Amino acid sequence: SQQGEEDPQALSIQEGENATMNCSYKTSINNLQWYRQNSGRGLVHLILIRSNEREKHSGRLRVTLDTSKKSSSLLITASRAADTASYFCATDGSGYSTLTFGKGTMLLVSP
């Protein structure tokens, strides 16, 4: 299966701390995307990293991709209570398949 697996399943931190979430996948990809979801709402696209990229930044977000290890990480720096949400990685297989999502990491940022 192409499915991404996020780790940890849940993460609880204090405001101001950094949060790191990891994603592992099984087969070759074209790109990997990260999404966030507030409780019971739709997903919001955060960042897309292509298979030939190793690192990408967007505001307080930093994403890395290691295709040799088939893994990615999402770092949120200086977290805020508003960052509380579930975070999902999604992979787009090398055969140009549609996205496959993992089960997500639930992040709780306490004031």
Residue with tokens 């996948």: 25
User: 56 burial class (0-12, 13-18, 19+ CB within 10 angstroms)?
Assistant: middle
Applying CB under 8 A, among 21, 43, 65, 107 the residue interacting with another protein is 43
What gap in Å lies between CA 56 and CA 103, rounded to an integer? Answer: 23
CB of 48 to another protein, least distance (A): 5
**CB count in 10 Å sphere of residue 87:** 23
99 contributes a contact to another protein by CB under 8 A: yes
CB of 17 or CB of 44, closer to another protein: 44
Task: Give whichever of 80 and 103 is closer to another protein, judged by the CB atom.
Answer: 103
Q: Which window, 11-19, 34-42, 61-69, 74-82, contacts another protein (CB under 8 A)? A: 34-42
